[in-house]
Amino acid sequence: MAKLIIEGGHTLKGQITVHGAKNAALPILAAAMLVPEPVRISNCPRLTDVENMAGLLRALGCRAEWVEDDLLIDAGSARTAELPEGLAGSIRSSVFLLGPLLGRFGAAEAPYPGGCDIGHRPVDLHLKGFRAMGVKVDEASGRIRCLGRPKGGAEIALEYPSVGATENLLMAACGAEEDTVLVNPAREPEIDDLMNFLNGAGFELRREGSSRIRIRGGRRSHGTAHAIVPDRIEAGTYLAAAAITGGHLLIRGARREHLSALLTALREAGCRIRLEGTDLDIEGPERPRELRRLATQPYPGFPTDMQSQMFALCTVAKGTSVLEENVFEDRFRHGAELVRMGADCLIRGRSAVIRGVKHLHGAQVTAHDLRGGAALALAGLRAEGITVVERAERIDRGYMNFAATLRSVGAAIRREDD
Ligand code: EPZ
């Protein structure tokens, strides 16, 4: 296990370059299973979840190896469609393999996926979509067993624009002989990056307006090279770090069009943000202003993956903020940890009322999930005294070299691994 030790009170100054997006890399690595030739993934972040996914591909008989910062995957030798118990159960992204395995082999089997504790994370929408494609899905004995090649020719409406279900279903549909249309798909940019990868490998997918994706059937695939889209949540987390410390950072390599809702909220909090090409120049205020109402929504609404970081910012705002978490049912566990640091907040169901305090004080706190852990570290950057964030290995799931990156722009932060 790991912990972060942070001495607060240092404003951040300098520049940070964002890496490739975790939530694009995971489905794209899974999608490589659809392609029986070598693919080269560049700008791929070296995160624990990504390493785990590469491990799953190897367990299925694929070759997956790093060449400098690129991940080379060859699924030509993939021989089985059954995920091993041990590893697969540990990460939610193992469920992303069901779609490509169905598309490639017409069969897929996996244990129910794990995940971090922000909610019970069902996969009913994924399985409902597979069944709508004529796949036989059996959920007995705690495993998910799917059998049958996905049939095209259908319009499949998602009752909720689930990111994972959209990705799984469009990957399964790549194996169908006829076209499939997904109705009410998720609109997150990571899905467009997945589609770009698949199109580069010979498949044909495209959005038809904002509420439909058409996946052409009967396409044959070939090897390809793809660069992962920049991580909008990593960029957003470091923007929030500048905001909470009253610092001045240049965040390089992000796609500003993926950050509109966040930039609006940061400006409301009093940040001055200048856009310069793919660089974002942000200056945080001496003390942030409250966010009167911030509600997480599917993209392009305010991202749930930035809720905990903005929660931390609101704890030291001048007034009272109201946050609504509309995507996950249990994503406020960082609230209790922030109270240990002197925050004043009231959490009821999906709403949090946060009355800003002038000062937080350092405390020993626990990261319950990767974004909540990052939020506690941000609070520690602002708090008076020393903050220790336990279970910091959970932060590694979404951030490369998190402590070193913050230290490089002036934070007094170090990591201890047990
Ligand atoms: C993806 O999770 C991301 N993970 C999450 O990022 C992100 O928070 C989420 O999308 C929303 O943007 C990856 O891409 C690996 P959903 P996913 O399916 O696919 C419910 C992070 O911090 N739902 O859009 O699981 C679900 O319970 C992680 O990087 C069903 O009810 O998100 C949730 O309440 C956390 N049935 C809501 O939909 C289903 O079959 C959104 O889930 C599927 C989902």
Strand partners, 73: 39, 64
Q: Which residue, among 385, 377, 336, has the nearest Cα to 360 in the 3D structure?
A: 385
Calculate how far, in angstroms, residue 123's C-alpha sits from the geometric centre of ligand 1. 9
Residue 90: predicted pLDDT: 57
Its pTM stands at 0.97
Dist. CA 139–CA 145, nearest whole Å: 6
Task: Give yes or no for residue 344 CB within 6 A of ligand 1.
Answer: no
Calculate how far, in angstroms, residue 43's C-alpha sits from the geometric centre of ligand 1. 23
In our burial notation (b when 16+ CB lie closer than 10 A, e otherwise), range 316-348 reads: bbeebbbbbbbbbeebbbbbebbbbbbbebebe
Q: Which residue, among 388, 407, 409, 396, has the nearest Cα to 340 in the 3D structure?
A: 388
Task: Give yes or no for residue 237 CB within 6 A of ligand 1.
Answer: no
Task: Give yes or no for residue 123 CB within 6 A of ligand 1.
Answer: yes
Three-state secondary-structure class, residue 400: coil
Query: What residue ranges in 142-261 does DSSP mark as E strands?
Result: 143-147, 155-157, 180-183, 205-207, 212-215, 224-227, 248-252
Residue 409: predicted pLDDT: 98
Dist. CA 66–CA 47, nearest whole Å: 13
> Which ligand 1 atom sits nearest the alpha carbon of residue 127?
40
- Rg over CA atoms, the chain: 21
Is the link from the previous residue into 298 a cis peptide, with omega within 30 of 0? no
Best residue for ligand 1 mutational test, from 19, 91, 163 (most atoms within 8 Å of Cβ): 163
Contact criterion met (CB below 8 Å) for 103 and 115: no
Three-state secondary-structure class, residue 126: helix
Segments of the chain scoring below 50 in pLDDT: 89
Calculate how far, in angstroms, residue 118's C-alpha sits from the geometric centre of ligand 1. 10
Only one residue has tokens 């997918």, namely: 205
Which domains are assigned to the chain? Answer: 2-19+288-417 (3.65.10.10), 22-227 (3.65.10.10)
Tokens at 274, concatenated:
């200048």
Dist. CA 105–CA 126, nearest whole Å: 18
Contact criterion met (CB below 8 Å) for 81 and 107: yes
Task: Give yes or no for residue 232 CB within 6 A of ligand 1.
Answer: no
Tokens at 322, concatenated:
């109201």
Task: Give yes or no for residue 371 CB within 6 A of ligand 1.
Answer: yes
> Which ligand 1 atom sits nearest the alpha carbon of residue 96?
15
Residue 92: predicted pLDDT: 67
174 classed as catalytic = no
Q: Pairing state of beta strands 320-324 and 351-355?
A: antiparallel
Dist. CA 313–CA 288, nearest whole Å: 7
Residue 91: predicted pLDDT: 54
Nearest CA to ligand 1 atom 32: 163
Calculate how far, in angstroms, residue 248's C-alpha sits from the geometric centre of ligand 1. 32
Three-state secondary-structure class, residue 401: coil
Residue 85: predicted pLDDT: 67
* Contacting residues for 300 by C-beta, under 8 A, at least 6 apart: 187, 260, 261
Residue 119: predicted pLDDT: 79
Nearest CA to ligand 1 atom 35: 305
Q: Got the DSSP string for 239-254?
A: HHHHHHHT-EEEEES-
